[in-house]
Structure 1
Amino acid sequence: RSYFGTDGIGYTFIRVPLGGCDFSTHYYAYDDDHPGDSTLQYFNLTEEDYVYKIPNIKRAQELSPNPIRVFTAPWSAPDWMKEIESSGASHLLPEYYETYAKYYVKFLQLYAEQGVDFWGLTPQNEPSHGTTNGGFNSMGWTSEQLRDWTAGYFVPALKAAGLDDIVLMILDDQRTQVEEWAEDWYGNESVNSFSDGMAVHWYQDSNSDASVLTQAHEQYPDKFLLYTEACIFTNGVIEPILGDWSRAERYASSILEV
């Protein structure tokens, strides 16, 4: 009620992790326990979806006087679809490119069966993180790799399922990468047509000027920019620190800047 109700602050977006994320209580994806299940026979949602995510999404929709846009992003494919390095860095094995596209679509379909339709999605949360380490659910892609998988496998799978009207956002990573991803995706005619906008995270904003957002908007005015993730740990502490306004000041400064 405080976030979505008429007497609350009026949030109109909900970001739903596809499987586990870095705030999950444990590491998980879907179909974890059936390596090689290329037909996704054993794919199903989990307790986290049925008990927590879906009921809370519906409750927010009930409380909100405005439509709520629900969007999703995956942190990782099941481990059996990936090559995992000793550092924890990982990437999707090419032999599972098509399977993983269908895996993503199956998630969207199962949520729809539960009465939750997605407004938008990103192909991967923080693709750069998974290229260096795997401290939490992650999977690495370069901009070109993810672009080519999206164009060659994911978008065709969405179209085949009648889901190609879902808004597709690129990047879902740091502002330092905005220029590179805009050029790689928007500058490619075959990919530009299904790239609706760009999702941005704030963790490395101090390493780049906000003007990169202005430049991207001016160069590609038909593409929107949306900040999709921001959180603060103060010396490793995530709980409230009474009397400390530093987090609020950082959030306010970021909002004013962008």
Structure 2
Amino acid sequence: MRLCSLILAWALTRPVASQQIWDIWQTTWDREELFTSLAPSTPINFVTPGPPADADIIVTETTVYQTINGFGGSLTDSSALTLNNLKSTNWANYWSILGHVFSVADGVNASGLSYLRVPIGASDFSANLYSLDDVSGDTSFSKFNINNAPSYLFSVIQDILSINPALKVHILPWSPPGWMKTTGTMNGGTIQSNYISAYPTYLLKAVQGFVDQGISIYAISVQNEPENSDSTYPTCTMTPAIEGQIGAALRTLLNNNGLSSVKLVGYEHNWSDAATYPVELMEDDGSSYDGVAFHCYAGTVSEQLSFYDAYPNKNIYFTECTGTIGSDWWSDIKWYMDNLWIGALQNFAEVGLMFNLALDGNGEPTLPGTDSCSSGCRPIVTECRSQNNSLHQEGTHCTSAVYALAQASKAIIPKDAGGPWGQRIEVAVEGSLDWALIVGAYTTKRLSSTDWNRYALVVLNWDDSASTVWNPVPVTATIEFRGMQATYTFPVGMSHL
């Protein structure tokens, strides 16, 4: 199956007959194409409509949904260490990988990732337990030190920013400092009630600490996975009431310290509780929060709608999912596109993130003793050891995640440097083969009203076993847009048009 992204470009002042498909990027199930540009030598024209094909893609540009603010992953300490080690051993390969993953220049052969989620203190992917203030009882946080975090974390972020100045950085803790916890450690437990009022200052200082490192903060979450307590790695449970109390105080501190543009995000946990915890959080302190974030490890993506239906004016972030080492490449691609990079957006997510940005081929290094990722978490970029001991890829990158992210990201990155991000628009698939294609549609506006807007389709053809045996079947589809029609045959895989 191939995922295709379709980009349609035309001048708004010209007749609709000028609608054309100019740009095609594809990844096929057999990996013969891996995020490959297949721009036609002559554009594919939209013409007067004829009979629809068995799969008929109908795009309605007048129905516009959320702005998509980017795709990316988490730069854990382990991810930063993996990349930093590569920088030391193979400088050219390091910069090549960062460029291929993060460049958002229009038309360039790159994934265009633009969103980083960064732990505040240790996570299950750190060398050791630490917070940014490990002095017990220091409620004034006079001993707070952003440099408790490894220096390579900041240097890698700075390197990414040098490639993509539009990068959005979203920070959050896996746990408060251990001395504030019922367990006396960052592992497991919850925050002690007598430290709840002090904790927002710690989070404010984290934002300020990143800013002092030259890293602007787009968003901060109060707590990663507040329903999870694990004694083997940093975790912390919080009720919606406690998270709401902390968030409300943090919102005030941010506003009072010149940081009102920093978005506050709540929940950061699984789809399965979408109708309960995040809804209660908004009921308690919704005015403090820009929205809530979801993870993929329990429940289904459609459950995001239960939150959206309750709070349609709040933003939805999809911020964490990971595959495992050794899973099936093509099965992963299908799941990612159906549930995340098309599905999560159809259920109103405005960002889409995987977990670790980079790890070695075994999903290491992890925090010593952690039971997290016991089967090995697969990152976006994997350190594969070749004969010259370099970080290399299968074609372009080692994992299926980067291809799926790239196909989706290409559809929404700004056409103009500094221009607006893409917005999701209405799309439907009809016909007897409507089940064979999963489709997302997007429009990207321009800085100048005289320039052509860009329209894009991200398409998954997963017709690989129509007769219950392996049988990948290309699907010829008609595309209906502005009263005109184009025809394209989608191979099994991902396509961006």
Provide the residue aligned with 1:257 in structure 2.
343
- Give the TM-score normalised by structure 2: 0.45
Per the TM alignment, residue 242 of structure 1 is displaced from its structure 2 partner at its CA by 9.0
Whichever of the two has the greater Rg, that structure is 2
Cα distance in 1, alignment partners of residues 337 and 218 from structure 2: 27
Among 196, 215, 234, which residue is 1:116 paired with?
215
Q: Which residue in the other structure is 2:156 paired with?
A: 56
Aligned with residue 237 of structure 2, among 118, 121, 140: 140
1:67 aligns to 2:166 (yes or no): yes
- CA shift, 1:252, in A, is 2.7
Q: Are 1:36 and 2:36 matched, yes or no? A: no
Q: Residues 21 and 134 (structure 1 numbering): CA distance in 2 closer, same or farther, change over 3 Å?
A: same
1:2 matched to 2:100? The reply is yes
Larger relative contact order (CA 8 Å, sep ≥ 6): 2
CA deviations 1:8-55 (Å, max 9, x no partner) are 2001111111111111122221222x2112221221123644x22222
Conservation of the 8 A alpha-carbon contact between 1:171 and 1:178? no
- 2: CA distance, partners of 1:79 / 1:210: 33
- What is the 5 A alignment of 1:62-101? 62-64=162-164, 67-84=166-183, 89-101=188-200
Q: Aligned residue for 1:230?
A: 321
Kept in 2, the 8 Å contact 1:202–1:230? The answer is yes
SS in 2 for 1:29: coil
Residue 214 of structure 1 and its aligned partner are, at CA, apart by: 2.3
For structure 2, list consecutive stretches of 5 or more residues without a partner in the other structure: 1-98, 345-497
Moved more, 175-184 or 116-125: 175-184
Q: Which amino acid aligns with 1:144?
A: A
Q: Which amino acid aligns with 1:13?
A: Y
* TM norm structure 1: 0.84
CA shift for structure 1 position 197 = 1.3
Contact (CA 8 Å) 2:132, 2:149: kept in 1 or not?
A: no
User: What is the match of residue 258 of structure 2?
Assistant: 162
CA distance in 1, matches of 2:136, 2:245: 25
Matched, 1:201 2:295: yes
> What are the ranges of 5 or more consecutive residues in structure 1 without an aligned counterpart?
none
Q: Structure 2: how far apart are the matches of 1:251 and 1:244?
A: 11
- 1:253 Cα deviation from its structure 2 partner: 3.1
The C-alpha deviation readout for 1:43-99, integer Å capped at 9, x for no partner, is 1123644x22222222212212x611111110111111111189x631111222232
Match of residue 11 from structure 1: 113
* Residue of structure 1 in register with 2:352 after alignment: none
* DSSP 3-state at the match of 2:294: strand
CA distances 1:175-200 after superposition (whole Å, capped 9, x unpaired): 11111134213334xx2222111111
Tell me the matched-pair count: 240
Which stretch of the first structure deviates more once superposed, 120-129 or 175-184? 175-184
Q: Partner of 2:206: helix, strand, or coil?
A: helix
The letter of the residue matching 2:101 is Y
Q: Distance in 2 between matches of 1:180 and 1:138?
A: 20
Structure 1 69/21 Cα, relative in aligned 2: closer, same or farther at 3 Å?
Answer: same
Q: 1:45 aligns with which of 133, 143, 146?
A: 146
Query: Structure 1 CA distance, aligned partners of 2:278 and 2:189?
Result: 24
- Taking structure 1 as reference, are residues 159 and 42 closer, same or farther at Cα in structure 2, changes over 3 Å only? same
Any conservation in 1 of the 2:251–2:264 contact (CA below 8 Å)? no
Residue 183 of structure 1: aligned partner: 279
1:217 match = 308
Q: Secondary structure at the match of 1:92?
A: coil
Matched to 1:19, the amino acid is G
Identity across matched positions, percent? 25
Quick check: 1:28–1:137 contact (8 Å CA) kept in 2?
no
What code does the residue aligned with 2:287 have?
A: S
Residues 248 and 110 of structure 1, relative CA distance in 2, 3 Å threshold = same
| Aligned position for 1:247 | 332
Q: The residue matched to 1:187 in structure 2 has which SS? A: helix
SS at match of 1:170: strand
Which residue is equivalent to 1:149? 246
CA distance in structure 2 between the aligned counterparts of 1:36 and 1:28, rounded to whole angstroms: 15
Matched, 1:172 2:268: yes
The question of whether the paired residues in 1 share the 8 Å contact of 2:226 and 2:239 is answered with yes
Hey, what's the Cα distance between the residues in 2 that align with 1:169 and 1:24? 23
Cα drift, residue 125 of structure 1:
0.4
Q: CA deviation at 1:243?
A: 7.0
Give the Cα separation in 2 of the matches to 1:169 and 1:252: 24
3-state secondary structure, aligned to 1:193: helix
Find 1:20's aligned residue among 99, 102, 122: 122
Partners of 2:332 and 2:147 lie apart in 1 by: 33
Identify the structure with the greater strand proportion: 2
Relative distance call for 1:248 and 1:99 in structure 2 (3 A) is same
The answer (yes or no) to whether the contact 2:268–2:294 under 8 Å persists in 1 is yes
Per-residue CA deviations over 1:102-129 (Å, capped at 9, x if unaligned) read 1111111111111111011110000101
